[in-house]
């Protein structure tokens, strides 16, 4: 079973099995700082669906990381989004929702291995992992407010649950990057690693989990989610309502133009 999944050909992902019953998922767009585009979203959705439909497909734990040492994931590919009309934007965002929610509901634990930057949607994917290891040089930010948007794949709901309301609002409202030491202090990261060792340490931890009774691991995962996320679905739906009101605004369009033109945005409040 496990060989069938890793044998599949992906355009934006690298799938391997580095240890017994462990799946390594590498977001593989290093030239774009592993930003997710439509194709990556579709491919990640297919991986989560395969794991869900086949009860793990022989895998008992997964590690999610990014190719290279510059970024775990920098969020949505704004070059692909530049010039999108409302319908195209919302269609793509539906895929991004399914990509993120599939990670949150994955039937096996997923360890995030963060090397470099985890920004915007990349930070949100990190928040969707079961827990996270990071390089001590990693950087983190939710930058959506600087682009005329808000986090739309879980950030406003998962971050307060992870660090508390006040700390989350500071991160969400300023868009200011912060470092690995702060991420660890605030409980976003379980372990800080030397650069270049994060994925290996995450795989080692995944192998320990995979050696445990798989049904017990799954039930622990389900019980822990139920304990902390009983109202998450309602919060995610409200987040999307807030997000969707911004798609047609001039400020959202200006934020994307400014990013692609490499200049500060000029927001006008409409």
The Cα–Cα gap between 96 and 84 comes to 15
Which of 43, 97, 124, 239 does the annotation list as catalytic? 124
The Cα–Cα gap between 125 and 199 comes to 16
Q: Which of 27, 145, 9 is nearest to 77 (CA)?
A: 27
Contact status, residue 67 vs residue 116, Cβ threshold 8 Å: no
**Sheet of 117-119: strands edge to edge?**
71-73, 117-119, 139-141, 178-179
Check residue 237 and report its DSSP letter: H
Which of 144, 182, 185, 204 does the annotation list as catalytic? 144
The Cα–Cα gap between 160 and 54 comes to 33
Q: Which of 143, 88, 136, 92 is nearest to 116 (CA)?
A: 136
182 a catalytic residue: no
Contact status, residue 171 vs residue 99, Cβ threshold 8 Å: no
Strand 22-27 relative to strand 13-19, pairing: antiparallel
230, two tokens: 């009983």
144 a catalytic residue: yes
Strand 61-66 relative to strand 22-27, pairing: parallel
8, two tokens: 């599949």
Catalytic residues: 124, 144
């Amino acid at each position: 079973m496990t060989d069938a999944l890793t044998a599949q050909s992906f355009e934006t992902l690298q799938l391997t099995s580095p240890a017994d019953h462990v799946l390594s998922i590498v977001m593989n767009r290093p030239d774009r700082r592993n930003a997710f585009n439509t194709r990556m979203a579709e491919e990640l959705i297919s991986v989560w669906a395969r794991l869900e439909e086949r009860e793990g497909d022989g895998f008992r734990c997964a590690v999610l990381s990014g190719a290279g040492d510059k970024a775990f994931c920098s969020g949505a590919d704004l070059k692909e989004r530049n010039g999108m009309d409302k319908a195209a934007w919302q269609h793509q965002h539906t895929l991004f929702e399914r990509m993120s929610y599939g990670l949150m509901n994955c039937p096996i634990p997923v360890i995030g291995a963060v090397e470099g930057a985890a920004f915007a949607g990349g930070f949100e994917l990190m928040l969707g992992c079961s827990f996270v290891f990071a390089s001590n040089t990693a950087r983190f930010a939710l930058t959506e407010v600087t682009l005329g948007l808000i986090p739309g794949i879980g950030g406003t709901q998962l971050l307060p649950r992870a660090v508390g309301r006040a700390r989350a609002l500071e991160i969400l409202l300023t868009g200011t990057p912060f470092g690995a030491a702060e991420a660890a202090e605030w409980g976003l990261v379980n372990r800080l690693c030397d650069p270049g060792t994060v994925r290996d340490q995450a795989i080692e931890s995944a192998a320990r989990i995979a050696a445990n009774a798989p049904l017990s691991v799954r039930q622990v995962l389900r019980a822990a989610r139920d304990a902390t996320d009983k109202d998450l679905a309602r919060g995610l739906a409200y987040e999307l309502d807030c997000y969707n009101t911004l798609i047609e605004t001039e400020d959202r369009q200006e934020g994307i133009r400014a990013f692609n033109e490499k200049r500060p945005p000029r927001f006008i409040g409409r």
